Amino acid sequence: MRVVKVVGGFALLLVGIIMLVTPGPGILAIAGGIGLLSTEFEWAKRLRGRVEDEVAKWRAKQAQK
């Protein structure tokens, strides 16, 4: 099962990067890939945590407007 998560996570990352320059939801695919990889790798878990913190800050700033 671990191999499926790792391969799927890296595949989503690759597809997401490609979709950044072609039509498609690239950011969502990258987020999904990081989310999947964060279940197996500490570096991905830290990256996901930093992104979640930045999103929370952005949302708080938007709520103040």
Residues 2-45: pLDDT tens digits?
A: 999 999 999 999 999 999 999 999 999 999 999 999 999 999 99
pTM, whole model, 2 decimals? 0.82
What is the C-alpha separation between 32 and 29, in angstroms, rounded? 5
3-state SS track over 16-62? HHHHHHCCCCHHHHHHHHHHHHCCCCHHHHHHHHHHHHHHHHHHHHH
Q: How far is CA 22 from the centre of its chain?
A: 18
